[in-house]
Amino acid sequence: MDYVDLRPGTRVNVAPMEGDLGASFEATVRSVTENAIRITMPERGEEVLAIDAGQPITLFTSLHGQVYRFSTKVRLIETAPVEGLVIEPPAEAEKNERRTFYRLMTRIVPRYAAEVSRDGAESPLSENVILDLSGGGLQMQTLTRLEPGSKLHLVFSLDGDPLEMEVTLDVLTVNPPVRGARFYRLHGRFASVPRSEVERLVRYVYRQQLELRRKGVL
């Protein structure tokens, strides 16, 4: 990754490379130069990240439809004119297309799931469960028979997030029930979703991934 792609105002997640990686902190890029990146003091709710100069950190963000994750370290902790961190330019970054970004296995029952017709009418689906999530889409099982190209309206909750996700999904593939089963399994891609909502979902998936790694599951 060329770090100059980070621009003032870009939201990033920050996680210490030692200790509990199960939850990251959010910050905003303040400035970018050839020698350093300045970000606001990372926070999670009312909690401020406790960190020292020289400590390694992992930075995560999504830019231009791609997910970037890289390691760096804190050069300086600023207290004036505002609190924040000065971090080293990253030496190397891992870049993933959103379609290949980590897919989180889950079982979420949507509060609302419906097929949207061309005239905007919505027909509720029956017995739906989201099986996995990523930054770009999801896999779901349903009793309702659907066709590739269908458009769905979904509302569901994320564990630990007080706000529901409301998304539009373009159905890409549909697998019929296997022998002895009743459920169709579909894969879909998010469409017409505000960038802020997509980034909220990406951050959720990333936090869950960090927690699984901390527990040794990944």
Q: Is 154 helix (H, G, I), strand (E, B) or coil?
A: strand
Mean pLDDT of the chain: 81
**pLDDT reported for residue 66:** 57
Say what the pTM is.
0.57
Residue-wise pLDDT tens digits, 54-73: 999 888 776 655 566 777 88
Q: Give yes or no on whether 3-97 and 104-202 have one common fold.
A: no
What CATH class has 3-97? mainly beta
Among 11-25, 75-89, 104-118, 169-183, which is the least confidently predicted range?
11-25
Q: Where are the domains of the chain?
A: 3-97, 104-202
Q: Between the ranges 99-108, 146-155, 192-201, where is the mean pLDDT highest?
A: 146-155
104-202 homologous superfamily = predicted glycosyltransferase like domains (2.40.10.220)
Q: pLDDT-based confidence at 186, cuts 50/70/90?
A: very high
- Alpha-carbon span 187 to 93, nearest angstrom: 29
Q: pLDDT-based confidence at 173, cuts 50/70/90?
A: very high
